[in-house]
Each structure stands twice: as C-alpha cells, then as structure tokens.
Chains A and B, each alone.
Chain A
Amino acid sequence: MMNEVNLLTVTAAVFAIMMSGSGQSRTNLLLYAMQTFFIALACLAQAEAKGSPELYTVVIGIIVIKVLTVPYFLSWLANKIEARSDPGAFLPIPLTMHVSILLFALSHFLALGLPLFKGIGSVASDATGAISLLLTGMLFMLTRRFALGQIIGFLTLENGIFLFAVTQTKGMPFIIEMGILLDVLVAVMIGGLFVFRIQKSFEHIDVTQLNGLKE
C-alpha cells in the first residue's frame, strides 16, 4: 500500500504539522525548508514516474528558491526586525499543532472520498498530504500574531496547492509552474518589504492590532 511518493508527501505534511507547533521564527523556517525539500523530492519521484524532463527543472527551481532563498531571506528579516518568537493568537500554539493533526485526519477522510486522478504514481495519501498542507497553512496564518507568521503560513498553503497540482493532474505546462515559482519569490519579497515597512512605521508587526487602523 505504501509507496515512495506516499511516504514523501506525508513526511512533508508531518513537517508542516511540527512547524505549526513552534512559536520560534527560525524553527518555523527550518521546518518549512524541510517540508518544501520533501515536496521537491516528491516532485522528483513524480518526474521519474511520468518521465517529464520539465519537472526536473521545477525541482531545481523549488530547491533553489523555496528551500534555500526564501527561508534564508525570511530568517534574515526576522533577525532584522527582532521578531524571533511569536506569542500566538486565538489558540495556544501547542494546541494549534494538535488541531492540525486532527485536520490531517480530516484530510485523510476527505482524500478517501474524492474522485481522484488515478494516474501514474498517484495515491490517495498524496491528496491527504496536499490538503493537510493547505489546511495547516491556513491554520498557521490564523494563529500567529506577527505578520511573518502570515507569510510562512501562506507559503505552506501554496506548497499544498502545488503538491495537489503536481500529484493529481497529468502535469501543468512548464511555463506556468515556473511562473508560479517566481510569483512566490516576488510575493515573499514584497511581503517581506511590507513587514519591514510596517515594523518601521508602527514599531510592531502585531496583526491583531491592525484593526486600530479602521478609523
């Protein structure tokens, strides 16, 4: 029942879950990088199974941009604005992790019920991992107080969508995949700059206090 791809995507989802349990920005980023690395590996396995050479390029792109550049940049940013640990909002951070495990179980049930693409090397647990990443990313965005958390959560969410696309379709056109990758890079840069500017103007990046802006 278990095959290679299966294990890789589930590992990525587990890393995302572990990420949601830490309030330390650097731990979050490290675990994000690990998670993305495993997605890259899953993508590599897909490339082998489907025999599409463009996917290899995408894997290299992911590793260079999402595994190395983005976490490094964000970690630099976190140091710069001294947002090293997040106190959390709405839900205590340890509980976030347990909720995301329950969401993982939920996405397992969901994936079992979906009319999934029955292509080469695609199994239900790929969809499980992808949906779980998506939900964990959203939960992550929801439960962090600092804007940096929203960026990391968004990136995890994007990972989920990417994984879903790679494993559940016959493959997207190469140019779109690369385009999305670059979009993510640009989004992170812009998001990072915004966080930096917010920090400069308000002397904090606490998003729960943004509702003070409505007047």
Chain B
Amino acid sequence: MNFVTPLFLAAFMLLLASAVLAIVTRKKFSLVCVALTALACVFLISGALQIGRSDSLWKLSGPFYLGVAPLSFRFDALSAVFSALLGLIALCAALFSHAYLKHLSGRINQKYYWCSLNLFVLGMLGVFLAANAITFLVSWEIMSLSSAALVVWNFSESKGQKAALIYLGATRLATAFLSAGFLWFHHAFDSWDFAKWHFNQADLLVPSMMVALGLFIKSGIWPFHIWLPYAHPSAPSSVSALMSGVMVKVAVYALLRFFLIDGSGSIYLAWVCIALGAISSFWGVLFAFVQSDIKKLLAYSTVENLGMIFLAAGICLYAQVAQLKEIAALAFVAVIFHSINHGLFKSLLFFCAGAIDSAVHSRKLDSLGGLINKMPATTGSFLIGSTAASALPPLNGFVGKWLIYQSLFMLAASETERAMNVLAMILIGLLSFVGGLALAVFAKMFAVVFLGRPRSPAAENASECSKLMNAIPAALAVLCLVCGCFAGPLITYFCRMHPLYSAVSLPSLPIGQIAFLFLAFAIFFYLAFLRKNGERIRYFSTWDCGYGSLLPKMQVNSQSFAHSVGTIFGHLLQYVTHFEIGGHDRRHFPERIKAETVMISLLESRIYGPALALVRLLNRHFSKLQAGSIHLYLLYVFLVLVAMIVIEVLA
C-alpha cells in the first residue's frame, strides 16, 4: 500500500488551509496555524520517507491545468530527500516562530507572517516535486514572493527597505533567467515535461547556462551573493533558518535534477561551477571573518558552504564527462550530503541567533559575551552547530567536506588531463585554507558571544529563553551528531539515488570509531586527572598584570580578533583601521583612544554601485518615453503591431 500521494496531498492542503486561516480568522489563530503547519510538516516527512527509492508521477488535471501544462508532480528519491529536509526545517521553524514571535510582538503582523510562511513552505515543496517547467516556475514564484514578503516585514525601517529591494531584485533576475531558459528548452523539445528535456546537450548551451545563471543568483553564489547579507539580518530568525537552510538548497536541488542526475555532464557548466564555487567559498568565509553581526556572519558563511556545494557539483559534472565514475559518484554524494548538512547546522545556528536576539535584543557581537552562564542550553546547541559549520569531526559538516576533499584527491590522482590534476590539487589547498578560516570564524563567533564577560548590561541581565526555543536547536544538534557519526549508511543511500552509480563502491570513513575512541579517552582522562582535583580548585580573577579592574571592554572583540586577517587581506576587504588618540601628551599619556575599522565590500562599491547608477541614468532617459499620455501609449501599441505585421510580411 502506497501512502505517498495522500500524504503529500494532505501536506499541501494543510499548508494552504493554514495560510488561509491565518488571514481569515481574527483571534487565537497563531496556535491553530502552528498546529496545522506542524501537522503538514509531519505528513511531509512521513511522505518523503515513504517514497524511498520508488519513482512515481502524479498529474492533476481539470481545474488545476496551468494554461499550457498540467500541474504535475514527481516523487522520487531525490525529491524525497529534499522534501524531508524541508519538512524537518519547516517543522522546527513553525514551532520556533510560535515562541520567537513573542519577542517581535507588536512590531510584526502575525497574520501576515503565518500566511507568508505557509506559502513559502508550499512553494518550496512545489519546486522539489515539480515534474514540468510550468509547475516549477509557478512554485518558484510562490516561494520567491512569499520569502520576499517575509524579508520585508519591517518595511518601516530603511534597512528593511534596502534589504527587501535588493532581495526582490535578485529574485526577479533569477526568475527572468530561468523563464527565458525554460522557454528556449520548450522550443527545443516541444514539451514542458522535465522528463523529456536534456539539459546537457551541447547545442543547447545558451539556455542551459541561462538556467544555471538563474540558479546561481538564487543560491547566492559569488558574485551574486550580495542579497544574502542583506536579506538574512532583516528577516526574522526562523525565516532566515528556512531561507538559508532550505531555500538556497532549492537551487542546488534544481542543479542536481537538471544537470547531474542524467549522468552525461557538461564541461562548460563544470568549469563555471568549479570557478564560481571556489571563489565564493573563499570570498564568503573571508567576509564572514570581519562581520560583527551574527546573522550577517552566518549569511556569509552560507555563501561559503554553497560555494563548496557548487564546487562539488562542478567536479561531478567534470567527472561525468571524463567518465570517472567513482569520482562522479563521490562528488554527487558530496553535493547531497553537504546540502543536508548545511541545512541542518545553518538552521540550527540561525535558530540560536534568534534565541540570543530574543534574550539580549541585540545581534551585535560586540555587545554580547558571557552568555554561557545565562543560556547554557543555547550554548550547547550553538557549540555543536559551530563545530559542525567549521567542519570538525565527528559532526556532519566534516563528512560533507571529507567527501569533497576525497573527490578532489581522487581527481588529482586520476589519469585524466594534467591541468585538471593540478587544478584539483590547488583546490585542495584552497579548501584547506577556507577550512582554516572557517574554523577561525566560528571560534571567534562562539567565543565572543558566549565566553568571557558580558560586554553590555543587556547581556549581563539575559536569561535563558523558553523551553521550546531550547529544544529545537538541541534536536537539530542531535541530528548533526547522528548524521556525522553514522555517515556510512547515509553515504551509501545517497549514492544509490543516482541511477548510474548504484554499483560504485566508495571509500569509507571510520568516523564513528574515531569519535568513540575520542570520547572514551576524554572521559578516562577527565576521571583520571581533572575530576579528583575538583576540591582543590581555587577561584581568582583573570590575570591582569596586577593592576586590577580588568574591564569587559578590554576583552577581545569581533573586530580585534579579526584584525590580523583584515590586514593580511586588506586589499580584498578594503579594510582600514582609523586610530584617533586624544589628550594632552598624546603619545605617552593618551586620555582617550578611538580605533575604528571600516570595511567596504569591493563588489558593491566597484561593480554593483556603478552598474546601478548606470541603470538609474538610463531610467531617467527612458522615463521620457513614459509621459503618461494615453495617446502616446496607444501609439506605441500601434507601432509595435505595424512592425510585427511588416516583419511577418517580409518573412
């Protein structure tokens, strides 16, 4: 008995019902909405688990006909994995928002929020399941617009306006490229069905690049990443978690579905993916280092991780072309595995950021500190999240990175083009560099937020948030650990998902065993050396050279920690420190010292800024065409009509 279709249908219905209910009802809707959405997510997860490896198509006809093609959905292993991820994160987000929105109450319109949230989940689900281009585009648009609505919630603030505009601009561009590409494909294959399309055909390079470009913009790959650091800090944390955990993965899913799963590969797209992926992983982590807002930092870290995922996708495409089956399988698994990993740990970190925000009412790293004693549960989850994000064993982030490393290693050692060997080697070097930087980024963030002494009165008076808000990150943290320690079966499962690689055997990673030994050692040495010393501990103040009164401000903050990196990469970051020393005898007895670091994003100031200025300039001239006179517009219509007729006649 197959429950897949009914389960998904129920999920769709419940999400819609929840969205409608949020708008229609007057009072007490929040709890009902949460329940409905959560139930929908549970159905979604169980449906996705039901799919397993089966492959079925579900076509709706009649009233659900979308103009040129029916609304049709396809359930297979790939969409199952991503819908399960969506179900999980959406469930967490719904439950979390229930508690989190109290912190924003009064400022946020809850009706509006719940309606958009449900539509957002619905849209993403539609994209994951779409079997034809029209269903895909419609769902894509629902997803884009509802997420934009969620980003805009504080439109009254100028920051929110800017974020919303940038985000909307990015999504419009992405949709435009996707639609253009899809139209071209429709022209080439005379069908809207994805099953009949071949994206990797050499003569269809232009439309496939258009589609890829749309996906790049949506996923926030360099140089299109600039919407991420605006949208995330502006959106509520639960929405950020969904956006960063799942929405950017929609593009990865589409890449997998269109280009990777058919196993033919495309060399041009491979190069583009490798180049952009490598640059964005470096760029993202470098910019993450110098941020001082938690959510901005996390947004840049998303750029880094997406870069790694696209890098793996590029390797997979290359290996498919070069007929290196094992490497292709490994890179394929790396793409899926790291997408899921990133979905788990990044949403965990965003939820924690929300918890901190609701407890301290600040996301600035430099006004936090010492939260480990005030919020122990959040600290634990955040610690696991940040170790996973810096790809440390035995967490899931490491497994994803290990798969990418291993595929690069095998590519470097394989008998293929020499240049590719050398490139794979350089990429390993780059990835290790990025890994080291990511470690520093997350060590910095964790230490500045949770350790030391509180840097502001708000942080000093913070208290742990509600149980629900602790439980959700904790559950995700457990999942991160499980996915890391029991990576072996998951890797095999993901590998079987590809129709061509089911027989490939992959190298194994003894991470569970290492983790177990590590834990055993740690417990043993704790009991042996540290515990019995428990009664012989004396407490004293931190070493202050004997002067006394070490102020919280004297601790390292996010900027001083990043200073040496800022100076090393000063040219890329446009990182400048201004010192101002004031007082009577300024050199020896300064009365006040002010140090301020300024960082300008090179891309924004040098490329996007001038480009926007150009568009504005053109706009000013084009606006003359739009004089507002009805006769003028009629004239345009008339001219276009005549021109079309003339062209038709001449042809």
Show 3 A/B contacts (Cβ-Cβ < 8 Å), sorted by A.
A105-B422, A109-B418, A109-B419
Quote the shortest CB–CB distance from A91 to chain B (angstroms). Answer: 11
Task: Closest A residue to B422 by CB, please name it.
Answer: A105
SS of B interface (majority): helix
Quote the shortest CB–CB distance from A124 to chain B (angstroms). Answer: 14
Quote the shortest CB–CB distance from B169 to chain A (angstroms). Answer: 35
Contacts of A15-67 to chain B: CB distance below 8 A: none
Contacts of B395-428 to chain A: CB distance below 8 A: 418-419, 422
Interface membership of chain A positions 84-116, coded 1 if the CB is closer than 8 angstroms to chain B and 0 otherwise: 000000000000000000000100010000000
Interface membership of chain B positions 553-589, coded 1 if the CB is closer than 8 angstroms to chain A and 0 otherwise: 0000000000000000000000000000000000000
Quote the shortest CB–CB distance from B425 to chain A (angstroms). Answer: 10
Task: Closest A residue to B571 by CB, please name it.
Answer: A92
Instruction: Give Cα A109–Cα B417 distance, bound, in whole angstroms.
Output: 12
Chain A residues, CB < 8 A from B419 = 109
Task: Closest A residue to B425 by CB, please name it.
Answer: A105
Chain B residues, CB < 8 A from A109 = 418-419
Task: Closest A residue to B429 by CB, please name it.
Answer: A98
Chain A residues, CB < 8 A from B422 = 105
Instruction: Give Cα A105–Cα B419 distance, bound, in whole angstroms.
Output: 10
Quote the shortest CB–CB distance from B92 to chain A (angstroms). Answer: 44
Chain B residues, CB < 8 A from A105 = 422
SS of A interface (majority): helix
Instruction: Give Cα A109–Cα B420 distance, bound, in whole angstroms.
Output: 13
Quote the shortest CB–CB distance from B429 to chain A (angstroms). Answer: 10
Task: Closest A residue to B568 by CB, please name it.
Answer: A92
* Total A residues in contact with B, Cβ cutoff 8 Å: 2
* Total B residues in contact with A, Cβ cutoff 8 Å: 3
Instruction: Give Cα A109–Cα B418 distance, bound, in whole angstroms.
Output: 9
Instruction: Give Cα A119–Cα B422 distance, bound, in whole angstroms.
Output: 30
Interface membership of chain A positions 60-88, coded 1 if the CB is closer than 8 angstroms to chain B and 0 otherwise: 00000000000000000000000000000
Contacts of B412-452 to chain A: CB distance below 8 A: 418-419, 422
Quote the shortest CB–CB distance from B433 to chain A (angstroms). Answer: 12
Chain A residues, CB < 8 A from B418 = 109
Quote the shortest CB–CB distance from B283 to chain A (angstroms). Answer: 17
Give me the 3 closest cross-chain CB pairs, A-B, nearest first.
A105-B422, A109-B418, A109-B419
Interface membership of chain A positions 182-202, coded 1 if the CB is closer than 8 angstroms to chain B and 0 otherwise: 000000000000000000000
Instruction: Give Cα A114–Cα B522 distance, bound, in whole angstroms.
Output: 59
Instruction: Give Cα A157–Cα B467 distance, bound, in whole angstroms.
Output: 71
Interface membership of chain B positions 1-31, coded 1 if the CB is closer than 8 angstroms to chain A and 0 otherwise: 0000000000000000000000000000000
Task: Closest B residue to A92 by CB, please name it.
Answer: B571
Task: Closest B residue to A112 by CB, please name it.
Answer: B418
Instruction: Give Cα A105–Cα B418 distance, bound, in whole angstroms.
Output: 10
Quote the shortest CB–CB distance from B282 to chain A (angstroms). Answer: 14
Quote the shortest CB–CB distance from B424 to chain A (angstroms). Answer: 13
Instruction: Give Cα A109–Cα B422 distance, bound, in whole angstroms.
Output: 11
Instruction: Give Cα A109–Cα B423 distance, bound, in whole angstroms.
Output: 14
Quote the shortest CB–CB distance from A132 to chain B (angstroms). Answer: 15
Instruction: Give Cα A25–Cα B418 distance, bound, in whole angstroms.
Output: 36
Quote the shortest CB–CB distance from A21 to chain B (angstroms). Answer: 16
Task: Closest B residue to A108 by CB, please name it.
Answer: B418
Task: Closest A residue to B426 by CB, please name it.
Answer: A102
Instruction: Give Cα A105–Cα B420 distance, bound, in whole angstroms.
Output: 13
Quote the shortest CB–CB distance from B571 to chain A (angstroms). Answer: 9
Instruction: Give Cα A105–Cα B422 distance, bound, in whole angstroms.
Output: 9
Instruction: Give Cα A166–Cα B418 distance, bound, in whole angstroms.
Output: 29
Instruction: Give Cα A105–Cα B423 distance, bound, in whole angstroms.
Output: 11
Quote the shortest CB–CB distance from A98 to chain B (angstroms). Answer: 10
Quote the shortest CB–CB distance from B427 to chain A (angstroms). Answer: 14
Quote the shortest CB–CB distance from A139 to chain B (angstroms). Answer: 18
Instruction: Give Cα A105–Cα B421 distance, bound, in whole angstroms.
Output: 12
Interface membership of chain B positions 232-262, coded 1 if the CB is closer than 8 angstroms to chain A and 0 otherwise: 0000000000000000000000000000000
Instruction: Give Cα A106–Cα B347 distance, bound, in whole angstroms.
Output: 44
Instruction: Give Cα A215–Cα B641 distance, bound, in whole angstroms.
Output: 61
Quote the shortest CB–CB distance from A131 to chain B (angstroms). Answer: 16
Quote the shortest CB–CB distance from B412 to chain A (angstroms). Answer: 13
Quote the shortest CB–CB distance from B536 to chain A (angstroms). Answer: 48
Quote the shortest CB–CB distance from B567 to chain A (angstroms). Answer: 12
Instruction: Give Cα A165–Cα B74 distance, bound, in whole angstroms.
Output: 68
Quote the shortest CB–CB distance from A87 to chain B (angstroms). Answer: 14
Quote the shortest CB–CB distance from B416 to chain A (angstroms). Answer: 15
Quote the shortest CB–CB distance from A18 to chain B (angstroms). Answer: 18
Quote the shortest CB–CB distance from A143 to chain B (angstroms). Answer: 15
Quote the shortest CB–CB distance from B606 to chain A (angstroms). Answer: 19
Instruction: Give Cα A97–Cα B566 distance, bound, in whole angstroms.
Output: 22
Task: Closest B residue to A105 by CB, please name it.
Answer: B422
Instruction: Give Cα A130–Cα B419 distance, bound, in whole angstroms.
Output: 21
Contacts of B461-476 to chain A: CB distance below 8 A: none
Instruction: Give Cα A109–Cα B421 distance, bound, in whole angstroms.
Output: 13
